[in-house]
Structure 1
């Protein structure tokens, strides 16, 4: 097989093979993936926050952020998006059986890790973000948070960032770096505990099946379930209130006789399920992996991780108090 030209953005696969060669196509750069992911996060959070401060309901605010993100992608990231549209990951149909099986196991691992975290830190039980709305806005919330945002986030993180990292450094590093960036970007420790296993499964299911759509399905199912469960809890009176009341969970988790066994049991169960998923979702062969060597780490990636780390630190009361005292001491 003809040796690759690392400087070329085009990669004709298996040129010397007796099978007709796949036409050359542009490869996604790791740097473009990092920038696209950072831009999506900034636009999504800023636009949604601005609209919410103007009294716009949550579903409509998130839908507004989706629209702005699409416009930004068309204007700023057209070459990278075009490369993704030509990539085999975009063109390969989803495997619904794998996607649904991975979702069930990933959901179990995610909930187990959250349980382990809130058992270790009971006061964090009320810090997990909730997507709540009612009336017509609930349908907008299901559309935006349940379907459109998962699609955009998968395009940015598994479609552009992870694919670019794969082209630069291979499957393993790309799965880890996209998982870290996607997880810490959520900023809340209790949420991160549940997102880490989910994000890793999103990466591996794409690498295993060769289709980005399986991650979109899994991500959309997770978010739709979260929105639907939140809506059900908010509508079902005392029973739902008792289930959703973090103070009751906190009292249970502060029982010293239950705390350590429950934490170890949840952590062990989640780890076993995640190991099963890791062994199952082995990456499939892909001739473009490692075909465009180059840096995967950039300023955009560092900003994503730094923002997440600072948000995590600020979530602790002692840090917030120290920041408040510092602000009060300033002239």
Structure 2
């Protein structure tokens, strides 16, 4: 039987992060941390009716912890005008707070990390800032994760160049935050700072923190990160084409990294895009199964 439970992780400024614990009551397997991307929240990995990747993994014995970054999903308070935190706080405070909480709650740090989209950038940034975390992680799987956009597909020119770089800035200035949920651009909103910081990195700017100048690329240059499986969808034309993912892999240390592309021409059950690579019913027969195999290969 799959059980879901909401946990609260306090962070600075009186905020609390929402952590969804999804597990099988009769199985006690490895601990997994899940991290969503921009204009999203942890619900990309699960539904309350136990659909999605996290319940699938729970059925296979994994103890899943799905994090909502500050202000997103079930985290409180929700993003609003005047909230000044951004991705620097996600890297330096939110993810470390979740890791410490999970260790206290379960007795061990997460053995496996899973991310969607920008969540993979945040996770590798955490590895750069806190290299002592690397030995705690057996392997990672990143769904559609890239840092900078190198492709020039027409859909990318609309979604990134027009919407994310230009129009989103206008909306952020007007509202004091990016109302992506209201605009139907995604499942959640972004602060002005988190949008601006992610947009700069996506524009192929150096992988350097705008707050303190920390050089993530330099920190990872000779670092061996956990073995990482990157997942791309053949219909993901704008946000994570193979060229974008490969460039992210290139700047993410010297550890083992593999890229798998999912679509009918590769023998899979669906032509996956950026979102439905995690939400389509056929995913459990394709990339979800390959995720289990990847973790089994590197499980210590």
Which TM-score band (shorter chain)? under 0.3
Q: TM-score, normalised by structure 1?
A: 0.24
Q: Which has the higher helix share?
A: 1
Q: Which has the larger radius of gyration?
A: 1
